Structure 1
Amino acid sequence: MEAIIEVSELRKRFGASVALDGMTFTAGPGLVTAFVGPNGAGKSTTMRVILGLDRPDAGTALVGGRRYVTLDRPLTHLGALIDPGALQPGRSGRNHLLWLAHSQGLGARRVDEVLDLTGLRPVARRQANGYSLGMRQRLGIAAALLGDPPMLMLDEPFNGLDPEGFVWMRGLLRSLADEGRAVLVSSHLMSELQDIAGHVVVVGAGRVVQAARTTDLTARFGSLEAAYLELTRGLGVLS
């Protein structure tokens, strides 16, 4: 399966509210693609449509040329971090991952590998309701990596991390892209994205405002933050 996430002409309404208005972009292999925009721009809805959690009114969202809901063992194709709190709090971190692994035909060895990769081995047998936000975030990343997928989609992966965690996350995202994976990252931390993203998709009001190489945007505006502020001016909603 080719490592590519393709979103084409997605449209979605929730009642009278337009969430997606022709959202179209591609996240290709070997790159971290930054997916940025103000609150209410349609980022979360787009990610939910990609995962089949919301159904679009029109358009398509494909991972490796197929709809996510049609995939066998989907975690081996696309790993996603959408809500790090989406777990059974009475389970240990390791048992949470084991449950996911068994659903995908994966063994305990892979669980231990991602626990080591995310630094969670020392707290793996602690109940998840005792985890800090940063630890839950790392557990969500471990779950996304469980199937060793060629594509990853991460929503605000830096949330709750301490400075050491920021450094770790930067290195992880770079290494995943360097391995040829397609990595789609949504975040409001422009300074972090500027250092790791090769491509940027700026969205507002449910559509793409600008899609360009990071170096082109920084050359034009001076920084990714300046580009974001200029391109999304007037497109945000109150948080």
Structure 2
Amino acid sequence: MKANLDFINLYPCDRGFATAERVFNFPYLLYVHKGIGIFRIGQTAYPAAMGDLFFCPPGTANTILAHEENPFLLTGIDFRVHDESAALILPNKMNILSDTFRITLINRMVQEYALGRISSREICNSLLSSLLLDLLRSSRFSAARTGEREYAILEYIKDNYERTVTCAEISRVFSYHKSSINRIVTAATGLSIRQYQISLRMKKASELLAYSSRSVGEIASLCGYASQVFFSQQFRAKTGKTPSEYRCGRGKFKE
């Protein structure tokens, strides 16, 4: 998904600041750097505080009301995406106070847009696309701790890439039902556990072929393959090249 940033600001609200009801024909994000108040989206009034990020779909009325004693410092983001339907699945309210990645993306967009340097527009569009993709990915998981659970399971599989990790094993380690494990992995990666393991092995094999002098046989063994022939077949199926062809194409070590 590619997004285009139309406008972004860093706006210190006056005490008791309030907007009239607004209806935009574009999707809109509002981030609260500090302060408290209310942000109304449609018929719902959301309490707003530091770290809250709001999404207002196009065509939906919205209103900002800042507190009398502790007014907002806000960033509003007007943008367009090529796939409007994708943006609409974002929740109306998220809190990203502990997510330094997302906060950094927002702050960098504010800086780039304000300075207007060469390539600032392209950089802002890339930063915004990254932010939206990250938010969309997170919105696929409903439970508050699902992201942590997902990360732990993927880390476990990655740390054991050289051997076959089964749903039953992961179920024992993380105390989840076996039927849930493959669903979690597939939702996070788009791959089954077996496919994800193969992709990890191929990444490791590519790294070793490019940056080590180990033989193809050694690399196959390190990546969990008992058969060099099967490893080479699988590597070619995934990359379009044999291991030797891949290594030669990188201009590195010869067999």
TM interval, short-chain normalised = under 0.3
| Larger Rg, first or second structure (1 or 2) | 2
Whichever structure has more helix as a proportion of its residues is 2
Q: TM-score, normalised by structure 1?
A: 0.27
